Amino acid sequence: MSDISRRSFLGAIALAGATRYRAAAQAGGTRLVLLGTGGGPRPRKASSGSAQVIVSNGVAYVIDCGDGVARQLAFAGVPLATLRHVFITHHHSDHNADYGNLLLLAWTAGLSTRVDTWGPPPLERMTKLFFQMSASDIEARIANEGRVPLAPLVHVHELRAGGAVVSDGNMKVTSAIVHHPPLVPAFAYRFDARDRSIAISGDTSPSQNLVKLAAGADVLVHSVMYPAAIDRLVARVPNAAALKASILAHQTSAEDAGRVAQEAGVKTLVLSHFVPPDDPDVTDAMWLEAAKRYFRGVVILGRDLLEV
């Protein structure tokens, strides 16, 4: 696709996203929008960094903050001022690079209410340092534009163990520790709204904790890799001699994601966080075929701005 047709394609997706948002907001159902579905931090044309949003009763719960998360929310038609909770699965940059930016840019877009953020240490320190780094902009906007101070809006919670995270009457959120060394702890999250349950794997090798967390959920969003393509991926990334071993040990193949989904008994498996994210030799059909090998429910191939 040329850059021009790609842009109009993205514009059409954004328009469709905004229309769907209005329709679903009127219907009142809990929505899941995949904001970024590529695995790995390298910026790409084809997909943004890892991020999802769940919107329930007008409240936005963002899970992971990869590159571009704030702009993807704008494309999805989710008002940034409705941001209420941010959950970080682990501190790899493809999941947290825009964590601070999301808070700052949502504030510039009108956010003036409390936001709770949740994730492994050192989330507290990261938040504090980000506000220090951005102090000149924040202070200028408070002084010149009459905005409420940003830092007091943000309440940080560091998670060290799996279990109950937060329950706000609208959504019950639970976490489980998954296996993604050396990032310890790394979390998967489950969101139970009145009408839907959604589990998000974060990055992990095949995880029994995730099977338990996702048990019986309507939707499981699982990160996936295609092992046969990892050599080609590694060849394109200089300066990362141990990348192949790291990927193979700490990620889940699409086939194993199907096994996890089957064992958890979920209705729908959504493939996301594709590793590699942009290898033309791994076709949509290949991802789907691998995931369906052991899973008898519905498999959806994740795409940026796809609403599930």
Output the smallest distance, CB 131 to Zn ion, in A: 25
Instruction: Kindly tell me which of 23 and 249 has the beta carbon lying closer to Zn ion.
Output: 249
- Assess contact for 138 and 104: CB atoms under 8 A: yes
Looking at 187-195, 198-206, 240-248, 297-305, which segment touches Zn ion (CB under 5 A)? 198-206
How many residues appear in the chain? 308
Strand ranges in the chain using DSSP code E only, listed in sequence order: 31-36, 51-56, 59-63, 83-87, 115-119, 154-158, 163-167, 171-178, 186-193, 197-200, 219-225, 268-275, 298-301
Instruction: Kindly tell me which of 84 and 92 has the beta carbon lying closer to Zn ion.
Output: 92
Output the smallest distance, CB 99 to Zn ion, in A: 14
CB neighbours of 80 closer than 8 A, spacing ≥ 6?
70, 73, 74, 105, 106, 109, 110, 111
Residue with tokens 């954004």: 14
Instruction: Kindly tell me which of 150 and 260 has the beta carbon lying closer to Zn ion.
Output: 260
Does position 222 interact with Zn ion (CB under 5 A)? The reply is no
Output the smallest distance, CB 95 to Zn ion, in A: 6
- Assess contact for 291 and 262: CB atoms under 8 A: no
Output the smallest distance, CB 250 to Zn ion, in A: 7
Quote the CA–CA distance of 25 and 79 in Å, as a whole number: 12
Asked if the bond preceding 276 is cis, omega within 30° of 0, the reply is yes
Instruction: Kindly tell me which of 109 and 243 has the beta carbon lying closer to Zn ion.
Output: 243
Instruction: Kindly tell me which of 17 and 277 has the beta carbon lying closer to Zn ion.
Output: 277
Site for Zn ion in 200-219 (CB under 5 A): 203
Output the smallest distance, CB 90 to Zn ion, in A: 6
Number of residues located near Zn ion, criterion CB under 5 A = 2
Helices 123-133, 99-108: crossing angle, 10 deg rounding:
50
Output the smallest distance, CB 186 to Zn ion, in A: 7
The stretches of 214-304 forming alpha helices (DSSP H) are 230-236, 243-250, 254-264, 284-292
Output the smallest distance, CB 34 to Zn ion, in A: 17
Output the smallest distance, CB 202 to Zn ion, in A: 7
Instruction: Kindly tell me which of 92 and 179 has the beta carbon lying closer to Zn ion.
Output: 92
CA-angle at 230, arms to 228 and 234, nearest 5°:
150
CA quadruple 176, 179, 182, 183: dihedral sign: negative
Looking at 58-66, 112-120, 138-146, 196-204, which segment touches Zn ion (CB under 5 A)? 196-204
Instruction: Kindly tell me which of 138 and 234 has the beta carbon lying closer to Zn ion.
Output: 234
Site for Zn ion in 76-115 (CB under 5 A): 92
Instruction: Kindly tell me which of 55 and 176 has the beta carbon lying closer to Zn ion.
Output: 176
Q: How far is CA 77 from the centre of its chain?
A: 16
Among residues 33, 38, 22, 36, which one has the least CA distance to residue 60? 33
Contact set with Zn ion (CB under 5 A): 92, 203
